Amino acid sequence: MEKVWLTRYPSGVPAEIDPERYRSLVEVLERSCCQFGRRQAFHCMGQGMSYHELEQKSRAFAIYLQQDLGLERGERVAIMLPNLLQYPVALFGILRAGLVVVNVNPLCAPRELEHQLQDSGAKAIVILSGFGHLLAKVVSNTPIVTAIVTEIGDLLSYWKAKVVNLAEKHSKKKAPAYTLSKAVAFKDVLAAASGRSLQPVKIGGQDMAFLQYTGGITGMPKGAMLTHRNLVANMEQCAAYLGPLVRGGEDIAITALPLYHLFSLTVNCLCWVRYGGLNVLIANPRDVPAFVAELRRWKFAALIGVNSLYGALVNNDKFRKLNFGTLKLAVGGGAPIQQAVAERWRAVTGTPILEGYGLTEASPLVCLNPVDIEEFNGSVGLPLPSTEIQLRDSAGQEVAPGGQGELWVRGPQVMRGYWRQAEQTARNLRDGWLLTGDVATVDERGFVRIVDRRKDLIQVSGFTVFPNEIEQVVGGCEGVSEVACVGIPDEKTGEAVKICVVRKPGVSLSADAILARCRQQLASHKIPRHIEFRDSLPKSNAGKILRRELR
């Protein structure tokens, strides 16, 4: 496809970026720590961390992994943390030791945790103490040798840490007691490196940086192998596209989306470290009043979020009274931005939401609306620099201009492949082209519109929910004859999970019984919000349940 979008790029945005500008993400970090050492890199819960402190702490963490645990280059280490100061320390420590990061959603169910740890072969995990009981349930079935356990306040000042950790222990949502035989405290890990030096590790662009798990195109859990070059490329693409708005070493970004989500990790964490800017970490964005109170403290320039987050903010009276004089950039992704939310955000803040499109397999950004748009346009924007796209029909042939077809993507941000799944890699990567599974259109200026986001997949607050997984869990509930899962529109979360259930004859099955099973086996965002009991489900002549009719 001809790159018609290049003529629509704002002034100063290049057609191509240099994916070799940095050898690795480690070089990016070390350069920024040297250049911006005294400036704040991260801030959370009233505590700041300078670039100099980030360099010291991440180096100490790397020394422990390398020398105390004896982990060798290329081995995997999992991180199961919310947005706390411990996250960037662990993240960059793992990378500096030449190891691979495996991000784990802290809200995942035990069986999901077990699968990721087993499949990745991770030998160590960094985990918040409040989630330790989940690990304790499955750790004996995984290769995990060491659990590095941290309390919320571990990197806060002494008295603040005392208060925060005490409050957590006595909270209403206190985690169950648990025992981990090979656990070490996060603070002890940092202290253990005193007086020692990090052994140099030669890290290149083709070395794997992240094993990022995604359901991918088929719904089967897979680890996308993302190299240092992939992430550097996507970081440089974002910097080239958004750079004209950002003042290096000065601007503040609000990081409300969890850093284990690749969209937040790339656009917030990696890009802002490259800029030498400040990331303000929001540990719990669902607490909107506390979130707004934190926003009031900062002259922030950027906010990256999903539709549900933007909607919650503009519906808050105190948020609408904030001063948005410094806000220059609001980026939306993870799920479609609703027009009503975008228009209200623009009216409240004076800044449009730049909707984008991406997927884990592309590190993740593929398209983004240009920074000079004035209002919501319903598209996911233009392909980023050094990105090629094509629309193909079911036979793999390019569609005529103006038509719709499956979106194929090629560029330096596209993954190496799926971890230990050569067949799936061959199916979804062809001559460097990534088959996204999403049906799209491209207009005469190059703006991309997603027609169907992977057919049956459900997007809940930016997270992908796979109907097959929900159906398997519900189908195992005694009394269920048939079940189908679909997504329906939801004002707060974009989409909500709905299940349609046919009971077995003569069985009295309640919605509460189904929900009880779901709460045991599914992460919270996957639990059905709507349950409909039916006498039958629509089927094709071949007996296949027709989800599209249920929608």
List, for residues 394-409, the tens digit of each pLDDT value. 888 999 988 988 999 9
Place of tokens 């008295």: 159
User: Which CATH code for domain 25-34+44-203?
Assistant: 3.40.50.980
| pLDDT at residue 173 in the model | 67
Domain(s) labelled CATH 3.30.300.30 in the chain stretch across 459-550
Separation between Cα atoms, residue 212 and residue 364, nearest integer Å: 11
Mean pLDDT in residue range 202-226:
84
Q: What is the pLDDT of residues 272-304, one digit of tens each?
A: 999 999 999 999 998 999 999 999 999 999 999
Q: HSE-up of 535 (CA within 13 Å, CB side)?
A: 0
Separation between Cα atoms, residue 29 and residue 36, nearest integer Å: 10
Closest to 222 measured CA to CA, from 438, 427, 433, 388: 427
Q: What is the pLDDT of residues 140-181, one digit of tens each?
A: 999 999 999 999 999 999 888 888 888 777 775 677 889 998
Q: What is the pLDDT of residues 343-358, one digit of tens each?
A: 999 999 999 999 999 9
| pLDDT at residue 454 in the model | 63
Separation between Cα atoms, residue 408 and residue 354, nearest integer Å: 22
Q: Which CATH number fits domain 459-550: 1.10.8.350, 3.30.300.30, 3.30.457.10, 3.40.30.10?
A: 3.30.300.30
| pLDDT at residue 220 in the model | 54
Give the rounded distance of the alpha carbon of 162 from its chain centre: 30
Domain(s) labelled CATH 3.40.50.12780 in the chain stretch across 1-19+247-455
- The alpha helices in 72-175, defined as continuous H runs, are 86-96, 110-120, 132-138, 158-169
Separation between Cα atoms, residue 440 and residue 391, nearest integer Å: 7
| pLDDT at residue 452 in the model | 62
As its CATH architecture, domain 1-19+247-455 has 3-Layer(aba) Sandwich (3.40)
C-alpha distance across the termini of the chain, in Å:
34
Q: Alpha-carbon Rg of the chain, whole angstroms?
A: 23
DSSP of 233-269 = HHHHHHHHHHGGG--TTT-EEEE-S-TTSHHHIIIII
| pLDDT at residue 208 in the model | 98
Domain(s) labelled CATH 3.40.50.980 in the chain stretch across 25-34+44-203
Please tell me the least confidently modeled range out of 128-137, 451-460, 495-504: 451-460
Mean pLDDT in residue range 62-68:
98
Work out the mean pLDDT of the chain and round it to a whole number.
92
Mean pLDDT in residue range 234-243:
94
| pLDDT at residue 542 in the model | 38
| pLDDT at residue 167 in the model | 78
Separation between Cα atoms, residue 245 and residue 372, nearest integer Å: 10
Q: Which two tokens stand for residue 385?
A: 């620099």
* Percentage of the chain lying above the pLDDT 70 cut: 96
Q: Which long-range contacts (CB under 8 A, 24 or more apart) does 439-443 make?
A: 439/404, 439/405, 439/406, 439/407, 440/391, 440/404, 440/405, 440/406, 440/407, 441/391, 441/402, 441/403, 441/404, 442/1, 442/4, 442/389, 442/391, 443/379, 443/402
Place of tokens 């089967």: 220
- Checking if the pLDDT of 541 tops 50, the result is no
Closest to 304 measured CA to CA, from 233, 358, 361: 358
- Checking if the pLDDT of 492 tops 50, the result is yes
Burial class (CB in 10 A: 0-12, 13-18, 19+), 188: exposed
Crossing angle for the helix pair 25-35 and 86-96, to the nearest 10 degrees: 120
E strand or H helix at 29: helix 25-35
Closest to 161 measured CA to CA, from 169, 152, 173: 152
